[in-house]
Amino acid sequence: MQGSPYYTAEQAATILQKHPDTIRRLCKRGELAGARKFGGEWYIPRATIDPPAATEQPASTHEQKEQI
């Protein structure tokens, strides 16, 4: 599923270092946001698993000193 906006339960398990059955259980309980079941397989949105992209610029040294 290269290019898909979803991970399979097995892919998510590898990334999160969990057993695939644990991921399936979390999906069933609704603990993984946006998880969907298609054709008997669980699919978890990449946005739920991947860390958020860093969108903020680090504060300049001058701003850091003012905050202290």
Tell me which CATH code domain 1-51 carries. 3.90.105
* pLDDT (tens digit per residue) in 20-61: 999 999 999 999 999 999 999 999 999 999 977 665 555 555
Element (H, E) at 14: helix 9-16
Q: Which DSSP state fits 58?
A: P
Q: Answer yes or no: pTM beyond 0.75.
A: no
Q: What is the pLDDT of residue 34?
A: 95
Phi-psi region of 7 (alpha: psi -120 to 50; beta: other; left: phi over 0): beta
